[in-house]
């Protein structure tokens, strides 16, 4: 069956550390993958897009990797801050149909 799973429902880390979130997928053929941040009661905010032929993308303190062999994307936030606390969603965009399939999300809490 087709699945997108994010490693954990919740993740607590200490301020200043690097947060690493995982997104695994099975039985999908991705065109690209995106990461979003969602705060309670708000719509998701786009963070990064990585295509299936790209290995890594960076934007300020954010880094995303994409391994199509492992069928996995990792999302890193370096020098994490309490303001980074939110739910992070990965979205796989299928090749051909370009449909968005969302993971279940990981609630990140950065402790001061």
Identify which of residues 15 and 100 has a Cβ nearer to another protein in the complex. Answer: 100
Identify which of residues 28 and 32 has a Cβ nearer to another protein in the complex. Answer: 32
Identify which of residues 27 and 112 has a Cβ nearer to another protein in the complex. Answer: 27
Structure tokens at 101: 């399939």
CB of 93 to another protein, least distance (A): 8
- On the CB side of 97, CA atoms within 13 Å amount to 7
Residues at the site binding another protein, with contacts judged by CB under 8 A: 31-32, 34, 36, 41-46, 49, 51, 89, 98-105
- DSSP letter for 18, please: P
3-state secondary structure 41-78: CCCCEEEEEEECCCCEEEECCEEEEEECCCCEEEEEEC
Identify which of residues 78 and 104 has a Cβ nearer to another protein in the complex. Answer: 104
CB of 100 to another protein, least distance (A): 6
Residues 92 and 90: their CA atoms lie apart, in Å, by: 7
| Cβ(78)–Cβ(63) below 8 Å | yes
CB of 63 to another protein, least distance (A): 17
CB of 66 to another protein, least distance (A): 15
């Amino acid at each position: 069956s087709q699945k997108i799973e994010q490693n954990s429902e919740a993740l607590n880390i200490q301020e200043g550390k690097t947060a690493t979130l995982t997104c695994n997928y099975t039985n999908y053929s991705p065109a690209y993958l995106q990461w979003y941040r969602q705060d309670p009661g708000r719509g998701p905010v786009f963070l990064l897009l990585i295509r299936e032929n790209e290995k890594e993308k960076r934007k300020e303190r954010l880094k995303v990797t994409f391994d199509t062999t492992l069928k996995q994307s990792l999302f890193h936030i370096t020098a994490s801050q309490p303001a980074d606390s939110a739910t992070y969603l990965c979205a796989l965009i299928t090749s051909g149909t370009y449909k968005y399939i969302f993971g279940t999300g990981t609630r990140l809490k950065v402790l001061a």
